[in-house]
A and B are shown apart, each in its own frame.
Chain A
Amino acid sequence: MTQTLQKHVFPVIRTAGVTGMLVSFDDRLSEPANRAALSFAAAVKAQGWDGIEDVSSSLISVCLNFDPLHLPHADLQAKLEQLLQSQDWYASDLPNGRRLWRIPAVFGTDLAPQLEEAATAAGMSAEEAVTSLTSARTRVQAIGFAPGQPYLGQLPEAWDIPRQSQLTKDIPQGALVVAIRQLVLFAVQAQTGWRQVGQTAVKLYQPRAADPFMLRPGDEVMFHAMSREELANMQTDPMGGATSEVLS
């Protein structure tokens, strides 16, 4: 083992498999670490280093896919260290051109059967849970897992609930799920350990559209409750009733 269990001093550079390098800005989600990840990813892309195949940001880190036969690990590590030292990444601004999205969702019912369970885990009634989730102004902190799929945060402390130990099969596209003070809105049908509290008609990812991905990191999202009947009427609208305005 070359990596031992220890308290890291962030930011830290570690390997991810043989062909990945991960730059982490914290080991728990925080606003400054998320801003640092978004802006550092943009900076790495702008460098245009040879041998880099992909640069992506997640909630608190930046992942580089690279070819170690072309760009040795030690060389990449040195480049990253130098770039890290060039500024205070935690103090970065959010990306430009951010938007505020308002997205309708059905909470509970047979479409989102885990609302009660999630509310109980958060110490609330189902009604309180819906009020809490619809009054939260969340931000797209990362896109990941599936195409165009956002991690939205950060919810109030009460929503710091763990994932389930078992995966729930076949959570549908448009599902709104919750765990660890975050919401995820499902871009495709998938299985998950998160609990489903809502269902939307949003298609986050439209592969044949000019701009296939609806949300971008930094965008803000608020949900509001709608009825089952309203949802049924929205199935033909790829935006699922969502509206957006540009944030200045």
Chain B
Amino acid sequence: MSRTLTTHRIGPAVTIQDIGRLGYIGEGVSRGGAADRLALSEGAALLGQPDTLPALEMMGMGGEFEASEDMRIALTGAEMRATIDGSPVVWNASHLLPAGARLSIGPAITGCYGYLHLAGGISGAAELGSVAAHLAAGLGRALQAGDTLRVNADSGGETGHFLERDDRLTGTEIRMVASYQTPLFAENEIARFQSEALIKDARANRMGVRLNPSTTGFAAEDGRNIVSDSIMPGDIQITGDGTPFVLMTECQTTGGYPRIGTVLPTDLARVAQAAPGAPLRFRFVTLEEAVEIEQAQASYRAGLRQRLRPLIRDPHKIANLLSYQLISGVIAGNEEYV
């Protein structure tokens, strides 16, 4: 019997995502994959499976889902209103979704990209080596109501675990490194880029995030005639009218607008998850500091399973669990994560 998840209702931007595809940048296909890579690892830790398995990424809005058999699930990333047959369920936690029950995932409360993980992982036909949708590259598509997803067998495990989340849904400090085009910008422009808040625009997606300067735009010297060259996700491109764009997971692979610097991979999720209107503050760190930060993030990801806590279910509080402060009750408090 096949194990499936059926979508009864679905938000406009729900896609299958994993860690993306490498090896096609020279063909013009960027890596893509989840906008919040750490959320993939958290879901994997909650279900006790590899973080290379695909999950559903839900931008802004989830949907209503039904499983063909009992299924372990986890919810991570942007916090969204979620219920199973009308009863609220806790975010950043693992749950049992009984066969035939309705899992309803509403709009995002905090953050932009929420994730629904299924034990065993979603099964699909790989294109260019991955099942991840890359809409800019014409790979995969957004899910539609009525879609039925095949889910691989679950090797078994527990539910009812909770993970404390870091501050990436609301954090506004974004660290970046100088990149090969940073010297195209004068020192005072680089200083101003770090001293003024840049407001996240509502025009933000998996390809890029527009930033609105608090005062005037930024300019490179002779920036309109540089040769198109390689782009890295996290590059901050300054278009001709002075507007910065952070290039995200599904960005173009080359471009000719000058780039003032590159956001650290760790902080790119923060740019993705920040709410429209959030005042982001950018700060350069050295390459050495950046490597240390990435090392710390890798250790944090590897240690997520040790951070799992039992989900406390108090029948008297179950109705308002969404607003309940779980964290203070269950976390030791000696967090070393930067």
Contact = CB atoms under 8 A, between A and B. Distances in A.
Given A5-B183, A16-B230, A27-B227, A57 B26 contact: yes
B224 A165 contact: yes
Interface string B21-48: 0111111110100000000000000000
Tell me if A's interface is mostly helix, strand, loop or mixed: loop
Interface of B: 22-29, 31, 127-128, 136-139, 177-180, 182-184, 190, 224-225, 227-230, 232-235, 239-241, 252-257, 262-265, 284, 286-287, 290-291, 294-295, 298
Given A1-B284, A61-B230, A145-B228, A18 B265 contact: yes
Given A18-B262, A65-B232, 16 more contacts: A3-B178, A14-B179, A16-B235, A18-B291, A20-B232, A22-B180, A24-B229, A54-B24, A58-B230, A145-B253, A147-B28, A148-B28, A151-B228, A167-B240, A207-B128, A213-B28
A83 to B, nearest CB: 17
A146 B28 contact: yes
A193 B227 contact: no
Nearest to B177: A18
Nearest to A55: B26
A167 B232 CA distance: 20
A163 B240 contact: yes
Contact of A18 (B136, B183, B255, B264): B264
A16 B253 contact: no
A59 B229 contact: yes
Contacts of A213: 27-28
Which of B254, B264, B265, B295 has its CB near the most chain A CB atoms (within 10 A)?
A: B254
A25 B147 CA distance: 49
A115 B22 CA distance: 37
B234 A56 contact: no
B298 A69 contact: yes
A56 B229 CA distance: 11
11 contacts: A3-B178, A15-B179, A18-B264, A18-B294, A19-B232, A24-B180, A59-B227, A65-B22, A65-B25, A151-B254, A179-B256
